[in-house]
Amino acid sequence: GGTDDFNNVGHAKPICDTSFGKYDICELAGDVRARGGAATTVTLLSPRAPLREWTIKPYSRKYLLDGLKAIKVRSVSILEHAPQCTTWLNVPAMVIELGRITGNYWHDFTEVLVPLFIGARRFSGKVQLLIVNLLPFWLDKYKRDDDTVRCYPHVIVGYGNRKEFTIDPSLDATGGGYTMVDFTKFLRQAYSLPRGRPIKLSDDGPPSWGPRMMVLERTNSRKFINLHEIIAAAEAVGFEVTVANRPRASYDEFAREVNSFDVMGGVHGAGLTNCVYLPTGAVLLQIVPYGRLEDIARTDFGDPARDMGLRYIEYNVAADESSLMDVFGKDNPLIKDPVAVHMSGWGNLADWYLGKQDVRINVERFRPALK
């Protein structure tokens, strides 16, 4: 059940840190006992441990915790106060929870996969992931736990990331020093993606075949009204263009397809998350809908793209390119005063600018971005 060194590490700082506003995290080292089932507990047994108890929801966002399961994290000094081990494992473990928005591609990466990479990469794959909240559509992949008590030398409860969809190594409490470039390299290895770099254009002009552009087509809100014109404009400046929408094949096949492109372009939305599969040095072209959404767009995709080693280009939709202009006219507050809409709350912003807007790109205005 561990060594004195483990126990010393475990008590060099409080077991649980709940002071950060975005997520809670606990780290237990020594003789750690994780019990699954209806009343999930993680217990540190150490003769030097004061009796303490925390209630933790081990998810990466505190403000998305409604309906998620809380677990008890305890430290005890008396053997009889700890559950009896039924299985011993000589690897560390991470206890994590899957949130309500899991299933949305951007949230999968931002709130689960990138934080897991930060938290688990230091163990080089020799770590068990203990899931305390299962979603219905994942039941075929995972089995619910019983009252088995698994004992480990090291357990981390909770996970998180200080930034959205990217990694700032200066804020990485694990000390791993990982970057978003490391994360995308990890994905290329995991999916056996062949391309690490995009096409290189020669000094005397493009090659006989042009650089490849994937245009993401949305089917609900934020659709391209004039997609054919956009494709024609891209082809006119030398791109080989492919239009893609929601993947019909498995994600590993779609990841391989994305990796074959040099540019990904599309309107702000979860589909742009697929830029993680582009080769380092490729281009992400984000089309930002009307409504003063530039800061959101850069936080969600612009800054992460640069951190991945991609070149980031942004095209901001003008009022006369928005379907909202057709519906409401130039004097409506949605068109005339987007700042007031922002000030009125996230609901109005999301409902109109993200939920009920399509775009008709002015290809002449768009051409410099393509070039």
What is the full DSSP assignment across 124-167?
TT--EEEES---GGGTTT-----S-EEEEEEEEE----SSSSS-
Residue 56 has pLDDT above 80, yes or no: yes
Residues 81-99: tens digit of each pLDDT: 999 999 999 999 999 988 7
- The whole-number average pLDDT for the span 209-236 is 94
Secondary structure class of 219 (helix, strand, coil): coil
Two tokens, residue 61: 């966002």
- Buried b / exposed e over 41-74, threshold 16 CB at 10 Å, is bbbbbbeebeeeebebbbbbbeebbeeeeebebb
C-alpha 199/C-alpha 183 separation (Å) is: 22
Closest CA to 277 of 194, 361, 217, 347: 194
**pLDDT at position 203, please?**
55
What is the CA 346 to chain-centroid distance, rounded?
A: 21
Closest CA to 311 of 269, 263, 267: 263
More confident residue, 62 or 127: 127
Q: What are phi and psi of 63, to 5 degrees?
A: -85, 10
Residues 6+ apart with CB under 8 A from 145: 36, 37, 130
Secondary structure class of 176 (helix, strand, coil): coil
The correct answer on CATH 3.40.50 for the domain covering 212-370 is yes
| DSSP symbols for 194-214 | --SS----BTTB--SSPPEEE
**pLDDT at position 227, please?**
97
- The angle at the Cα of 184, spanning 183 to 186, to the nearest 5 degrees, equals 65
Closest CA to 90 of 48, 128, 142, 43: 128
**pLDDT at position 12, please?**
45
pTM value is: 0.83
Residue 76 has pLDDT above 60, yes or no: yes
Q: Which of 7-16, 24-33, 138-147, 342-351 has the lowest mean pLDDT?
A: 138-147
Two tokens, residue 154: 């090291």
Residue 328 has pLDDT above 80, yes or no: yes
Q: What are phi and psi of 50, to 5 degrees?
A: -70, 155
C-alpha 369/C-alpha 371 separation (Å) is: 5
**pLDDT at position 249, please?**
64
Average pLDDT, the chain: 88
Name the band, by pLDDT with cuts 50, 70 and 90, for residue 143: very low
Residue 180 has pLDDT above 90, yes or no: yes
Name the band, by pLDDT with cuts 50, 70 and 90, for residue 142: very low
Residue pair 216/224 in contact by the 8 Å Cβ criterion: no
| Residue spans of alpha helices (H) in the chain | 4-10, 105-108, 114-120, 180-190, 227-236, 251-259, 294-297, 303-307, 323-328, 333-336, 338-343, 346-349, 363-370
Residue 4 has pLDDT above 70, yes or no: no
Domain spans of the chain? 4-177, 212-370
- The whole-number average pLDDT for the span 182-211 is 82
C-alpha 72/C-alpha 52 separation (Å) is: 10
Two tokens, residue 151: 């004992």
More confident residue, 174 or 306: 306
Residue 206 has pLDDT above 80, yes or no: no
**pLDDT at position 146, please?**
60
